[in-house]
Amino acid sequence: MDSVQKMNSFLQQGEWRGLYEKAAAGERFSEKEALRLFESKDLNALGAMASLVCRRKNGARASFIVNCYINYSNYCILSCQFCAFARKKRDADGMQFTVEEIASKARAALAVGVTELHIVGGLHPSLPFSYYTEMLRALKAVDARLQLKCFTAIEILHLAWMARKSVADTLRELREAGLDSLTGGGAEIFRPEIRSRIARGKESAEEYLDVHRTWHKMGGRSTCTMLYGHVESLADRVDHLRQLRDLQDETRGFTGFVPLPYQPENNDIPVRVPPTGFDSLRTIAVSRIYLDNFDHITAYWVGLSLKLAQVALNYGADDLHGTILEEHIFHMAGATTPQLQTEAEMVKAIRETGRTPVQRDTFYQPVKIWNAPPGEDATAAGVSQVLESNLASA
């Protein structure tokens, strides 16, 4: 009997039996059951259940995107307690790019095969709405095939307020200028009591969800996130996931979910220890099991490390995010991961877990598939050795 069969046999016994049968049947988990999964100490059993759900949805494939991050400015009118990125106009290390400077970055990214530009910034106190539409048009002029994944929900609300437009009109004009997808950033934790402690003055959960709802009803797609491992409880995480699942039931507009581990340095939240590998893996696993109407769960290697992200591909994740040129927000908060991964490194990382690497686009559609050459399929023993080594050193 192989290890998978042994694990499945174990799961069909005792306290896990009912939960395993529910996962195997593709049935919906309640909030109470999700909290029970979070509270379990049996990470391997949890991972086996999540992997079962993941493979039913995505088979043996695991994806990544060749993308570039561009932050147009870090000037921001807010002072979120967890943010190490934002600056005020008086700060010497504030920055703001012109539209031509951003277009120049896009041309350089295009030269190395980037297919997506991921663009976010602070809530700038004075940039006109025309700056954002001109930026999108300039980027599409560089190459119309570049997919522009831009702006968080709070940025959209800020632009609407600055331009005295409705959210719908703001989104419509941005789409006409070239916006392809919204980013999922800014969700943090939805529970009001927690949100006010880590992001005082930021948009409410209802406002975040309504921006995405409006975009989805216009035919747009977006990702969504959750920032975990700070001052929230496990019940707060379940509440957050429930609200995302409810909106997905309504619109089917989310392409994927990206859990983000909190980075504890250079900010004002009194959390000295970042989320552990155990916590990150169980969060990904529970998310995969509970978010039954989401096709994709991302292991964000920038926050996890590539080694732990590899392990997460066996705990419910099916995506490693992207090659990510020039990531600043997580690194300014203390992340020590590299600034980028090459396409070859991403393919190698996925192959080492026994998965089939797939380069995807913004909407998780395949661009290129790396089927293993004859005789080079990863063995179960080899995969197990890689993952055990990663767990020991991640």
Q: If you average pLDDT over residues 197-205, what whole number do you get? A: 84
Decide which of 382 and 292 is more confident.
292
Q: If you average pLDDT over residues 39-60, what whole number do you get? A: 95
Long-range own/partner contacts, residues 126-132 (CB < 8 A, 24 or more apart): 127/73, 127/96, 127/162, 128/162, 128/163, 129/159, 129/162, 129/163, 129/165, 129/170, 129/173, 131/99, 132/159, 132/174, 132/177
Whether residue 335 lies inside any domain: the answer is: yes
Between CA 345 and CA 279 the distance in angstroms is: 25
Nearest in space to 225 (alpha carbons), one of 258, 271, 192, 254:
258
In terms of average pLDDT, the best of 63-72, 103-112, 134-143 is 134-143
Among 86-90, 176-180, 196-200, whose mean pLDDT is lowest? Answer: 86-90
User: How high is the pLDDT of residue 82?
Assistant: 55
Q: If you average pLDDT over residues 102-108, what whole number do you get? A: 93
Whether residue 206 lies inside any domain: the answer is: yes
Model confidence over 234-248: pLDDT tens digits? Answer: 999 999 999 999 999
Q: If you average pLDDT over residues 165-191, what whole number do you get? A: 97
What is the number of domains present in the chain? 1
Mean pLDDT over each residue of the chain, to the nearest integer: 86
Model confidence over 60-69: pLDDT tens digits? Answer: 999 999 999 9
Inform me whether the pLDDT recorded for 353 exceeds 50: yes
Inform me whether the pLDDT recorded for 342 exceeds 70: yes
Model confidence over 220-237: pLDDT tens digits? Answer: 999 999 999 999 999 999
Decide which of 203 and 114 is more confident.
114
Whether residue 33 lies inside any domain: the answer is: no
Between CA 212 and CA 336 the distance in angstroms is: 31
Inform me whether the pLDDT recorded for 3 exceeds 50: no
Whether residue 50 lies inside any domain: the answer is: no
Residue 337: which pLDDT band, with cuts at 50, 70 and 90?
A: very low
Model confidence over 9-35: pLDDT tens digits? Answer: 556 556 678 899 999 999 999 999 999
User: How high is the pLDDT of residue 266?
Assistant: 60
CATH number at residue 78: 3.20.20.70
Structural domain including 73 reads 59-393
Between CA 129 and CA 141 the distance in angstroms is: 19
Query: Is there a contact between 339 and 325 (Cβ–Cβ < 8 Å)?
Result: yes
User: How high is the pLDDT of residue 79?
Assistant: 58
Among 92-96, 200-204, 271-275, whose mean pLDDT is lowest? Answer: 92-96
Whether residue 25 lies inside any domain: the answer is: no
User: How high is the pLDDT of residue 111?
Assistant: 87
User: How high is the pLDDT of residue 8?
Assistant: 56
How do 319-322 and 254-261 pair as beta strands?
unpaired
User: How high is the pLDDT of residue 179?
Assistant: 98
User: How high is the pLDDT of residue 11?
Assistant: 60
Residue 300: which pLDDT band, with cuts at 50, 70 and 90?
A: very high
User: How high is the pLDDT of residue 17?
Assistant: 82
User: How high is the pLDDT of residue 336?
Assistant: 45
**Helix axis angle, 129-142 to 153-163, nearest 10°:** 120
Among 216-230, 273-287, 361-375, whose mean pLDDT is lowest? Answer: 361-375
User: How high is the pLDDT of residue 386?
Assistant: 53
**Helix axis angle, 205-217 to 167-177, nearest 10°:** 50
List CB contacts of 89: < 8 A, sequence separation 6 or more: 75, 125
For tokens 């747009």, the residue is 220
Whether residue 109 lies inside any domain: the answer is: yes
Its pTM stands at 0.88
List CB contacts of 93: < 8 A, sequence separation 6 or more: 87
Whether residue 225 lies inside any domain: the answer is: yes
Q: If you average pLDDT over residues 260-277, what whole number do you get? A: 79
Whether residue 54 lies inside any domain: the answer is: no
